[in-house]
Amino acid sequence: MSSNSFTAPKGTYDLIPPESETVLAVREALAAPLRRAGYGYIEPPVFEDVRLFARGVGESTDIVSKEMYTLTTKGGDELALRPESTASVLRAVLQSNLHRQGSLPVKVWYSGSQYRYERPQAGRYRQFWQVGAEAVGAEDPALDAELITLAADAYRSLGLNDFRVLLNSLGDRTCRPVYRTALQEFLRGLDLDEDTRRRIDINPLRVLDDKREAVQAQLTGAPMLADYLCEDCKAYHEQVRTLLTAAGVEFTDDPKLVRGLDYYTRTTFEFVYDGLGAQSAVGGGGRYDGLSEMIGGPALPSVGWALGVDRTVLALKAEGVELSAPARVDVYAVPMGEQARGVLFEAVTALRREGLSADLSFGGRGVKGAMKAADRSGARYAVVVGDRDLVDGVAQLKDLQSGDQTPVALDALVTTLKEKLK
């Protein structure tokens, strides 16, 4: 690399063809089941008032306290690139009054980049892509079960089967505080570093999520939330489990699953792909009944998830799913000379308007180079036109699979190709 060239910022990567086609297809596939379930597309801006995340995601989370990309605009506004989209989506729903315009829940999905200043490693980036879904304004175990089922179906539709669904309930306003106090008491008796001790005060549940062995070893015998759930939460959770079983979605109860964000209540879940090493979560979500009120809205119990597109692509590779990129074009036109270029430019335009994909050799390349480009393009047919052909009013149509070449009248070129490629 010379000193005056640039590379993508640390923790980011470029999506380039042909892999970029695969990624687009994965995004589409993850969203398809949502469309079939009545979720509408929503797209909030990629940056928001920094306080939305501080309040909505939680100041005690790593995402907000350490990983946010913040900026002050020339006008003095404090903004942040979104580290996740749930708070933004809920803000957008509230601002546009979607929750007052029709029946609840408001069901929406999004697809977009998220930004976290994390230490980059395989499967962990500073800009990554999520497809997400939120169902706002209803408390119904069938809604939680619907979302988990839709995510599982989305993975399966891509050919990903070796994932696990982890499931837990985090309780509600009644039972969680009681558990929290019991957990804090237990944790205070352990041998923990200062950072972790601080976490006991702010968000003790997250200590359970600590991946370090020295911490995990001390956690055996910790009080478990499952033993503290109130009757309502227990009944709710049982219904989610029953509905998932009825839908044929296998899951594992994971009493230690707490996830990183402050706003979760009751149902919480994660999709894990074990072949990915440390960054094995391919998606996750849960119920967030208190979030709307936290950001100044009315009580709107809600549930949602976000699936990581980057990691889903990695998981598909690990599972050996063939992710073939589609051929770039059907037809590749090779003009020999300026006049032929004009004729073929018109032909290519006409083909595209007829719904076929077509490309042209640009830059006055010689025939040999142009035919190589035709092969590389994945086209089924090359259309070659030289001066002699123009005199005869024909184009040479070359079948790139068989190698056969036949002259076709120029004015019948588009209809002939349409017929052949049907």
Q: Which residues bind ligand AMP (CB under 6 A)?
A: 84, 116, 118, 124-125, 128, 130, 260, 281-284, 306, 308, 310-311
In angstroms, give the least distance from the CB of 199 to ligand AMP.
17
Packed helices 413-420 and 338-353: angle between N→C axes, nearest 10 degrees = 50
Residue where the block lists tokens 């079939």: 36
Do 358 and 348 contact (CB within 8 A), yes or no? yes
Q: Which is nearer to ligand AMP, 124 or 317 (CB)?
A: 124
Strands 163-169 and 265-273: antiparallel
Q: Show the tokens assigned to 2.
A: 């010379």
What is the number of other CB atoms lying within 10 angstroms of the CB of residue 308?
26
In angstroms, give the least distance from the CB of 270 to ligand AMP.
7
Q: How far apart are CA 366 and CA 371, in angstroms?
A: 9
In angstroms, give the least distance from the CB of 127 to ligand AMP.
8
Q: Which is nearer to ligand AMP, 15 or 299 (CB)?
A: 15
Give the start-end residues of each E strand in 230-287. 252-253, 265-273, 281-287
Q: Which is nearer to ligand AMP, 120 or 337 (CB)?
A: 120
Do 29 and 154 contact (CB within 8 A), yes or no? yes
Q: Which is nearer to ligand AMP, 33 or 284 (CB)?
A: 284
Q: Which is nearer to ligand AMP, 34 or 281 (CB)?
A: 281
Strand partners, 286: 268, 304
In angstroms, give the least distance from the CB of 91 to ligand AMP.
16
Do 351 and 417 contact (CB within 8 A), yes or no? yes
In angstroms, give the least distance from the CB of 392 to ligand AMP.
58
In angstroms, give the least distance from the CB of 85 to ligand AMP.
8
Give the largest Cα separation in the chain, rounded: 93
In angstroms, give the least distance from the CB of 289 to ligand AMP.
17
Q: How far apart are CA 86 and CA 57, in angstroms?
A: 9
Q: Which is nearer to ligand AMP, 33 or 308 (CB)?
A: 308
Q: Which is nearer to ligand AMP, 33 or 335 (CB)?
A: 33
Do 383 and 334 contact (CB within 8 A), yes or no? yes
Q: Which is nearer to ligand AMP, 117 or 345 (CB)?
A: 117
In angstroms, give the least distance from the CB of 130 to ligand AMP.
5
Residues in contact with 43: Cβ distance below 8 Å, sequence separation at least 6, in sequence order? 110, 112
Q: Which is nearer to ligand AMP, 211 or 368 (CB)?
A: 211
- How far apart are the two ends of the chain, measured CA to CA in Å? 47
Phi, psi of 386 (to 5 degrees): -120, 180
Q: How far apart are CA 166 and CA 263, in angstroms?
A: 18
Residue with the CB atom nearest ligand AMP in the bound state: 308
Q: How far apart are CA 205 and CA 175, in angstroms?
A: 13
In angstroms, give the least distance from the CB of 319 to ligand AMP.
15
